[in-house]
Structure 1
Amino acid sequence: MNISVYSDGAKIPLDLAVGQTIQINWTTTDNSLYSPPSVTTRSEGAVITFNGYEDLTIAGRAFLNTCKLTDKYIPTGKTSVVWLAKGFGPIRSEELDEKGVVVPGSRKEISAILAAP
């Protein structure tokens, strides 16, 4: 089992304007509970663009005003789009290739809701 802890730099401001791009940087500490136990720390970052709000229906539920973000991770350069829903967090994500096209088979989204806020 691995447990990851992120520093405060991983926070995304809540006051971004549509189309605004920011860079955030943070430290990730991974704690491995496997034998032998270990702790590793690494610096990470992302360039995040707030794309706006979208209404989605996933797993039979309407999610209104989801927050759509595009993240380009540093140093890997991997780009993804994520939709965040109030009270749920991430409900859908997709990877993008170098040209900004969705990578086939990369979509991940919730499939069932066991309890709702």
Structure 2
Amino acid sequence: MPSVRLSAPPTKHLFLTAALCALLAACGGGDDDASTPTAAPSAPPPPAAPVPAAPTFAACFTVTPGVAYTMTDPDGGGSGKVLMVNEAFDGSARAGSVEFVGTTDVRSAATYWSPESNGIRFWGSVDYDATGAAQSKHVHSPEFLLPLSLQAGQSTVLKYTDTTQQLTGAQAGQTDTEAFEETWTFEGFETLTLGGKTFTDTCRVRTLAASAGEDGPSTLWFAKGFGVIRVRHTNSAGQVVEESSLDAVTAQP
């Protein structure tokens, strides 16, 4: 606001000017253009990028029915087809993995497992004859349960029984039960690129039977939705004796 000259008597005009300046905090009248400009509101910050969910042990054992792929034959005889299913086993629908003879539709084996509230439950398996007919069924006892609490580097000892029922042939109806003891070690999450597809956070699991003898541990890689996408068997000296891995994804619903 301009100062008022004290050396001359104030005029009515000067008094009005001083009064307006005092009211408006700016000389020049009450025009809106003369007021102090108001800063424009700042734009809201962009939304934070979602944080990826941490991988979980249980997720590796989920099954997506309809997923299909081929695995290399450990004996070098080409590839074999694998299909993820949800189908009847031992009286209930179970998630599992079916293996076929080469790339035909003739079944050779099926294995069933699923994540439960208290662990990964392995239910059992079915073996098929050369025609694809079910030949024998193996049902695991409830103790074949892999704890969900396993952290990378931790192991658990599983003691369970396997009841085998012969379904065909001269021994059809015969049942045998055998006890097993195995050490399962969760070695950690691992990213694999197989058959042109990258699988993140696969679970690398090592198994060793108490009565392994000359056989060494086996290592299996479980991938979410796909089941076992790589397997390696070694002898007691640590040498690889068999290995198989996914080489092509043929169906992914």
Shift of 1:74: 2.5
SS of residue matched to 1:62: strand
What does 1:8-87 align with in structure 2 at a 5 Å threshold?
8-36=142-170, 37=172, 38-77=174-213, 78=215, 79-87=217-225
Shift of 1:86: 1.2
- Return the TM-score normalized by structure 2: 0.42
Q: CA RMSD in A?
A: 1.7
Aligned to 2:141: 7
Aligned to 2:126: none
Work out the CA distance in 2 between the residues paired with 1:64 and 1:44.
Answer: 32
Work out the CA distance in 2 between the residues paired with 1:112 and 1:34.
Answer: 34
Opposite residue 102 of structure 1, the aligned amino acid is V
Opposite residue 237 of structure 2, the aligned amino acid is K
SS of residue matched to 1:83: strand
Aligned to 2:76: none
Q: 1:116 to 1:7 in 2, by over 3 A?
A: farther
CA deviation map 1:47-79 (0-9, x unaligned)? 111110111122222111110011101323431
Work out the CA distance in 2 between the residues paired with 1:29 and 1:109.
Answer: 29
SS of residue matched to 1:114: strand
Opposite residue 63 of structure 1, the aligned amino acid is F
Query: Identity over aligned residues, as a percent?
Result: 32
Work out the CA distance in 2 between the residues paired with 1:45 and 1:55.
Answer: 29
Q: Aligned residue pairs: how many?
A: 115
- Return the TM-score normalized by structure 1: 0.85
Shift of 1:115: 2.8
Unaligned regions of 5+ residues in structure 1, if any? none
Query: Which of the pair is proportionally richer in strand?
Result: 1
Work out the CA distance in 2 between the residues paired with 1:72 and 1:63.
Answer: 25
SS of residue matched to 1:9: coil
